[in-house]
Amino acid sequence: MDILEKLMRAYFISDERPHITVNKSICQSCSSKECLYVCPAQRYTLEAEGIQFIADGCLECGACRISCKSGAITWNYPRGGFGVRFRHG
Ligand code: SF4
């Protein structure tokens, strides 16, 4: 099973309070933008107005939090009852 097939098995329960927030003013001075490359769910994109982030679909792996050397990302686990659900088998 490849990564895309595995991702298709996960589903998400959205929360109006995202568990990850991104300080875009810090992102503006970041030249490397690791978040664009490390996120397996491709939750970060670079648009004309700068880094965009969508929390829905996050796999809660923590890679973005670890890779962001600028400290632009505030990361918490989702509140109870929200976030990713993995289906196995
Ligand atoms: Fe992407 Fe993982 Fe960060 Fe979620 S925690 S946004 S899946 S890198």
pLDDT digits (tens, 9 = 90+) for 31-55: 999 999 999 999 999 999 999 999 9
In CATH, the number for domain 3-85 is 3.30.70.20
In this prediction, residue 29 carries a pLDDT of 95
Write the residue with the smallest CA distance to atom 1 of ligand 1: 39
d(CA 38, CA 41): 9
Residue range 42-71: mean pLDDT, rounded:
96
89 Cα–ligand 1 center, Å: 23
Domains of the chain by residue range: 3-85
67 Cα–ligand 1 center, Å: 10
d(CA 77, CA 55): 11
In this prediction, residue 88 carries a pLDDT of 77
How much is the mean pLDDT over the chain? Answer: 93
